[in-house]
């Protein structure tokens, strides 16, 4: 579930690919939040990682 890409990989993506990646990351973040609420998430650090990743994707979309 942690298919987060690094900055180099994100910089090479076009706008459509960035939007698809953003949507996928938002869905993964939603699933993680629901697991956290249900006390099923053991790796709570993933919430912060995905939230930062979504912000990074939004930044790349604004810059392109």
- % pLDDT > 90, the chain: 80
Q: In the block, which residue shows the tokens 């939007």?
A: 19
Per-residue pLDDT, 63: 87
**Nearest Cα to 49, choosing from 10, 1, 14?**
1
Q: What is the DSSP letter of 3?
A: -
pTM: 0.89
Q: What is the mean pLDDT of residues 41-57?
A: 95
Q: How far apart are CA 27 and CA 44, in angstroms?
A: 16
Distance CA 60, CA 1 (A): 22
Compute how many other C-beta atoms are within 10 angstroms of the C-beta atom of residue 53. Answer: 22
What's the mean pLDDT when you consider all of the chain? 93
pLDDT tens across 12-36, in order?
999 999 999 999 999 999 999 999 9
pLDDT of 60: 93
DSSP-derived 3-state class of residue 21: helix
């Amino acid at each position: 579930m942690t298919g987060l890409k690094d900055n180099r990989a994100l910089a090479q993506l076009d706008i459509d690919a960035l939007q698809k990646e953003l949507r996928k990351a938002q869905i993964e973040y939603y699933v993680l939040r629901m697991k956290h609420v249900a006390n099923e998430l053991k790796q709570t650090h993933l919430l912060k990682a995905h939230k930062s990743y979504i912000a990074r994707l939004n930044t790349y979309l604004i810059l392109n």
